[in-house]
Amino acid sequence: MSKEQQLQLDAILRQGGLDTSADVPKLRAAFSELMAQVPVAPDVQQKPVELGGVAGIEVTVEGNAAENVILYFHGGVYVIGSAAASVPLVGDLVRRTGTKAITVEYRLGPEHPYPAAVDDARAAYEGLLAQGIAPAQIALAGESAGGGLAVALLLSLREADVALPSCAYLMSPYADLTLSGETLAGKRELDPLLSPDGLRARVPDYVGGADAAGPYISPIFGDLRGLPPLLIQVGSHEVLLSDALRLAERAAIADVPVTLDVTPGVPHVFQAYAGLLDEAGAALDRAADFVTTQLAQD
């Protein structure tokens, strides 16, 4: 693993970083411009789909004859981001797991505050079940807000007595919208992407009039008993590091099989930079081992 790679990536991210405290239209435009520069590998195939009335993109790789599926939730503080923007990262995961994936176009705030994202996530999952796909053939995955949404979905399904998927893979989960984690301040200077002020500016867009400490908004405050195995990956340079640490702790206390995988010296959702950072590819390899092992349990 190269310290030079880490420093190079940090410089790139600081130079082209997003101002998450900007007004929403400007933020979305800047994000779209940034993500348009990220190439999709030539072997990755995309197809628009709909699950339970929710739009998404099916992502496959040539040569995969996949019966299992990853239901994927993109990041973006519940305000920006899109299924299309997640395709390069999802493609890397699909290639390694031999599955197909569907990345979900869940509704965003402030136009559609909580519980719209949770409702869409659940509709998409139940849409897979309605197609005859067994829960054991489904893995959840998500990055940042999408990681938090994946856990919120698990809690919602468990409370409704709906059969749970095989596992969930969470990259840098945004799991505490009360912003009470100690690393928000402690890692502020190290994080090239996110800041406490930027996160704080966006919380009302999603939370609206709800309680930010509610378990379907901030899963670290939920009762995690009965959830399937979790893999939580996070970088040590993230202001959201404490979200991952506390979520793993809550899962362990609740007897949930959980693996916490902290990579030193890397930023938020570092797995997205597999072409620049050795640690990113290695983390995705470990995630693929986890997902394929869990999907093979049936």
So which residues are the catalytic ones? 144, 238
* Share of the chain residues as helix, strand and coil, in percent rounded to the nearest 5: 45, 15, 40
Query: Running DSSP on this structure, what letter comes out for residue 6?
Result: H
Round to whole Å and give the CA distance between 264 and 177: 24
What are residue 167's phi and psi, to 5 degrees?
A: -175, 175
Round to whole Å and give the CA distance between 63 and 60: 9
Round to whole Å and give the CA distance between 274 and 19: 24
- The 3-state DSSP class for residue 261 equals strand
- In the sheet that 69-73 helps form, which strands lie side by side, from edge to edge? 44-51, 54-61, 100-104, 69-73, 138-143, 167-171, 230-235, 258-263
**Residue 44 β-bridge partners:** 61
CB 164 within 8 A of CB 40: no
- The 3-state DSSP class for residue 144 equals coil
CA dihedral 176, 79, 241, 248 (to 10 degrees): 50
Quickly count helices (H) and strands (E) in the chain: 9, 8
Residue with tokens 């995961």: 93
**What is the token pair recorded at 11?**
């410089």
